[in-house]
């Protein structure tokens, strides 16, 4: 059985902020005792820095992967979305640079193939909200567009298990219990943070 631990990077501007570094340290404490095989991470600085803090604290090998980069893993057609949601979702996707939009769906398929086998492993992936959401969507068998709207908090922890002859099991999504309240949902508006 493969257990996949997914976490969004810590709070950042371009690099981790002091809050982001604290979130990364607390994530490492949360994962202490987990027999991690490796820490894989996006090559983007904020994810690489988060991974370096966690891997150093846990003494685990670290491996960058372009498959975990910041990109939209699927680009839906307007007809796949509700009429109320489509304009906002499509405008959000237009904010991505064109190279990320054009290459994202190919990377989205490859990242699932790379990390979802039922091999006996415990891997941590430090990535971005949309990639965490992409794995959750796939684990639940939801339509491809449904990665949209599944928000992952900075240093929030998602755990998915993959076993032979069983569908994936979503153990937890976006667990932030290792973070004090003031370090949860950083980067989101106060209104949005207040909902959780």
pLDDT of 186: 85
SS3 (DSSP) at 171: strand
Across-strand partners of 64? 41
pLDDT of 17: 98
**Below-70 pLDDT ranges, the chain:** 191-196
pLDDT of 179: 98
Q: Report the domain count for the chain.
A: 1
Torsion sign, CA atoms 16, 109, 37, 133: positive
Cα(117)–Cα(101) distance, rounded to whole angstroms?
26
CATH assignment of the domain containing 182: 3.40.50.1240
Long-range contact pairs involving 156-160 (C-beta distance under 8 Å, separation at least 24): 156/7, 156/8, 156/132, 157/5, 157/6, 157/7, 157/27, 157/30, 157/31, 158/5, 158/6, 158/7, 158/132, 159/3, 159/4, 159/5, 159/6, 160/3, 160/4, 160/6, 160/135, 160/136
pLDDT in tens, 30-55: 999 999 999 999 999 999 999 999 99
Owning domain of residue 161: 2-194
pLDDT of 195: 52
pLDDT of 89: 95
High-pLDDT (> 70) share of the chain, %: 96
Cα(9)–Cα(21) distance, rounded to whole angstroms?
10
């Amino acid at each position: 059985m493969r257990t996949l631990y997914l976490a969004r990077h810590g709070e950042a501007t371009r690099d981790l902020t002091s809050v982001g570094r604290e979130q990364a340290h607390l994530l490492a404490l949360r994962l202490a005792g987990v027999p991690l095989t490796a820490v894989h991470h996006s090559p983007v600085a904020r994810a690489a820095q988060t991974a370096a803090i966690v891997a150093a604290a846990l003494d685990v090998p670290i491996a960058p992967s372009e498959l975990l980069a910041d990109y939209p893993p699927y680009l839906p057609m307007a007809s796949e979305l509700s009429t109320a949601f489509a304009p906002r979702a499509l405008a959000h996707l237009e904010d991505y640079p064109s190279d990320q939009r054009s290459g994202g769906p190919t990377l989205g398929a490859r990242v699932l193939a790379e990390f979802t086998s039922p091999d006996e492993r415990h891997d941590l992936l430090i990535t971005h909200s949309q990639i965490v959401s992409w794995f959750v969507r796939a684990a639940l068998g939801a339509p491809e567009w449904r990665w949209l709207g599944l928000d992952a908090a900075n240093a929030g922890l998602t755990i998915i298990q993959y076993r032979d002859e069983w569908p994936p099991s979503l153990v937890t999504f976006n667990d932030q219990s290792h973070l004090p309240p003031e370090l949860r949902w950083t980067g989101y508006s106060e209104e949005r943070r207040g909902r959780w």
